[in-house]
Amino acid sequence: MSEPYTKKQIVEMRKKHIGPSCKVFFAKDPIKIVCAKGQYMFDEKGERYLDCINNVAHVGHSHPEVTKAAMKQLELLNTNSRFLHDNLVRYAERLALCLPEKLSVCYFVNSGSEANDLALRLARQYTGHHDVITLDNAYHGHLTSLIDISPYKFLQLGKEGKKEYVHVAPSPDIYRGKYREDHPDPATAYAKEVDDIIKKAHKNNRKIAAFIAESMQSCGGQVIPPIGYFQKVSEFVHKAGGVFIADEVQVGFGRVGKHFWAFQLQGEGFVPDIVTMGKPIGNGHPMSCVVTTKEIAEAFGATGMEYFNTFGGNPVSCAIGLAVLDIIEKEDLRGNATRVGNYLVDLLNEQKQKHPLIGDVRGFGLFVGVDLVKDRTLRTPATAEAQHIIYKLKEKRILLSADGPYRNVLKFKPPMCFSMEDAKMVVKEIDDLLTALEEVTEIQSDADVDENNKKKRKEPTEQEESSSNKKGNVNRQRNGVDTESQKVSIKRHRT
C-alpha cells in the first residue's frame, strides 16, 4: 500500500487534476474523511465527526448488511438488465409495494439527475407537450435539462439563465414566501399561482408537459408545502394536459418518519404521476429510480425506441436496494426518524424561545430546518450568522450545513440512525454559539444606541464563504409552521 496523502497534498492534486468548479466543504480547512460508521465519520487522525447532513448514508454509513449484500452479489455477477435476473424484478416489486398502487412501473438509473431527466422525457412523450413548471429556489440536478429547470442554479447565470419553456412558480414557503402562515388558505393561494402560470402559458401558445417539485424543498430552504397544495396543483396541471412529478431524491425512503414518501404528507388522496428517487436508495451506491404509471410507461414505450441504461438496475445495485429496504424495516428507522425528529424539533423550539436569532423551526422526521433571522419581525435572513455557526460546529466535530436562497437555514438531514443523544449534543452546541453571537450584538447595541441602526451586526470572519444566491430583504411576519406533534410550550429565557 502506498503512503496516504496529506491534506495539503490532496488539495494540491485536486487543483491540478479536478475541475475547479468541484468544491469541497469548509474550503479554508477541508476535512479528510477516511472511514465512517452509522452517523459518525472519522478523519485521518481518528477524530470523530457527527454527521447531521448526509441523507445518502440513509441507514447509516458503511452498514454491514449493505456491504454484505453488495459483496455477495459482486462475487457472483454484475451485468446489465438485458439478461433476466431475479434482483431487478424482486426490487421493482418491493419498491412498488412501498408506493400507491398506480405507481407500479420502474426505470432504474444511476443518479438523481438521471432520474429527473428521464422523468421529463416520460412527461413529454406522454403529454406531447414540452414546457415545465418548476418552483422558485428548486434544484433538480446537474444535467443540462435540469439546470434549465433549477432556479437555484440558473439564476446564478442572471435572468437570461431562464429558458422560454420554463415557468417558475413561487415556492410554497409559508414562512418567507408570498403567502404566509397568517394567510387563510396558503395552499389554494400558491396553487392559484400555478394556475395563473398555466393560463399565461396557454395565451402564449405554450403547453405544459409537467409540474415538478420536491415533496419538501431541500436546497430551497427546508420548505414544507401547505397541505392540499399538491392536490390543487395536480388538478390544474392535469387539466392543462400535464403531469405531476414528485422529486423524492432528497426526502424519500421514510425520512419523514410517518410516511415512506414525503408527498404522502399531503394526504392519502394525493398521488403524483411520476416519482423520482436517488441518494438514500442505495445508501451511497450510485443507483436511482423513476416510478410511474402503466399509462405513462406505455406511451413512452409506444415510440418503439428502446430505453437502455448500461448500469441502471444491475444485480449489485438491486441487491443493495433490497438490503436498504430490509434495514429500514428491521431497524425501525422510520420510527426512529419520528421519535428523534420530534425530540430534535422540541429541543430546537426551546432554543427558539431563548434565542431571537431563531426565526422558525420546521420539519418532519429527520428533515428539519432552522431559519435564522437578524430580526424576527422583518425576518431578515441571518446568513453570516448561519455560516458562522456551521464553521464553529465543524470545530466541535459536528457537520451541519446552511442552505436556502439566503443560506441562512440550518439544515438537518442526518443518517436515519441519528440518536436522541446526538440531537441533544448538537442543540447544546448551537445554544452556546447563539448565546455568544447574541452577546456580541447586545454589547454593540448597549455601547452606542444612537449608532445602532446605522451599524451592521458584527460579522463573523467566515462571512466571505456565505454568498447567497439571492439578494435583498423581504418583508417578514410571524410564523408557525410547526405540526401538532412538534409543538412545545416552554417559558422564554433571555440570555
Residue 221 vs 359, nearer CB to ligand PLP: 221
Q: Does 215 bind ligand PLP (CB under 6 A)?
A: no
Q: Least distance (Å) from ligand PLP to the CB of residue 149?
A: 10
Q: Does 116 bind ligand PLP (CB under 6 A)?
A: yes
308-347 residues in contact with ligand PLP (CB under 6 A) are none
Q: How many residues bind ligand PLP (CB under 6 A)?
A: 15
Place of cell 435564522: 372
Place of cell 440518536: 419
Q: Which string of x and - marks every residue 275-294 that binds ligand PLP (by CB under 6 A)?
A: ---x----------------
Which range, of 139-147, 395-403, 426-434, 453-461, touches ligand PLP by CB under 6 A?
Answer: 139-147
In sequence order, the β-bridge partners of residue 35 are 42
Please say whether the beta carbons of 479 and 175 come within 8 A: yes
Q: For residue 50, what is the DSSP state?
A: E
**Residue 446 CB: number of other CB atoms within 10 A?**
9
Q: Does 249 bind ligand PLP (CB under 6 A)?
A: yes
Which range, of 85-93, 138-146, 151-159, 476-484, touches ligand PLP by CB under 6 A?
Answer: 138-146
Q: Least distance (Å) from ligand PLP to the CB of residue 371?
A: 19
**Is residue 403 classed as helix, strand or coil in its secondary structure?**
strand
Please list the helix, strand and coil fractions of the chain in percent, rounded to the nearest 5, in that order: 40, 15, 45
Q: Does 113 bind ligand PLP (CB under 6 A)?
A: yes
Q: Does 136 bind ligand PLP (CB under 6 A)?
A: no
Q: Least distance (Å) from ligand PLP to the CB of residue 58?
A: 13
Please say whether the beta carbons of 355 and 378 come within 8 A: no
Please say whether the beta carbons of 120 and 132 come within 8 A: yes
Q: Does 111 bind ligand PLP (CB under 6 A)?
A: yes
Residue 223 vs 430, nearer CB to ligand PLP: 223
Q: Does 270 bind ligand PLP (CB under 6 A)?
A: no
Which range, of 70-78, 106-114, 316-324, 346-354, touches ligand PLP by CB under 6 A?
Answer: 106-114
Residue 107 vs 358, nearer CB to ligand PLP: 107
Q: Least distance (Å) from ligand PLP to the CB of residue 202?
A: 28
Which range, of 58-66, 247-255, 306-314, 358-366, touches ligand PLP by CB under 6 A?
Answer: 247-255
Q: Does 403 bind ligand PLP (CB under 6 A)?
A: no
Distance CA 50, CA 39 (A): 6
Longest dimension (CA), the chain: 77
Residue 141 vs 359, nearer CB to ligand PLP: 141
Distance CA 340, CA 366 (A): 7
Q: Does 218 bind ligand PLP (CB under 6 A)?
A: yes
Distance CA 74, CA 58 (A): 21
Please say whether the beta carbons of 323 and 92 come within 8 A: no
The correct pick among 51, 193, 247, 360 for binding ligand PLP (CB under 6 A) is: 247
Residue 112 vs 414, nearer CB to ligand PLP: 112
User: Among all residues, whose Cβ is closest to ligand PLP?
Assistant: 112
Cα dihedral across residues 211, 216, 219, 223: positive or negative: positive
Cβ-proximal residues to 20 (8 Å cutoff; 6+ apart), any chain: none
Distance CA 341, CA 347 (A): 10
The correct pick among 39, 73, 215, 250 for binding ligand PLP (CB under 6 A) is: 250
Q: Least distance (Å) from ligand PLP to the CB of residue 247?
A: 5
Task: Give the distance, in angstroms, between the CA of residue 143 and the centroid of all CA atoms in the same chain.
Answer: 17
Please say whether the beta carbons of 409 and 370 come within 8 A: yes
Q: Does 414 bind ligand PLP (CB under 6 A)?
A: no
Residue 112 vs 363, nearer CB to ligand PLP: 112
Among candidates 311, 330, 318, which has minimal Cα distance to 281? 318
Q: Does 140 bind ligand PLP (CB under 6 A)?
A: yes
Residue 136 vs 385, nearer CB to ligand PLP: 136
C-alpha cell at 26: 469548509
C-alpha cell at 92: 421493482
Which range, of 107-115, 184-192, 294-302, 392-400, touches ligand PLP by CB under 6 A?
Answer: 107-115
In order, the DSSP letters of 299-343 are HHHTT------SSTT-HHHHHHHHHHHHHHHHTTHHHHHHHHHHH
Contacts with ligand PLP, residue ranges (CB under 6 A): 111-113, 116, 139-142, 214, 218-219, 247, 249-250, 278
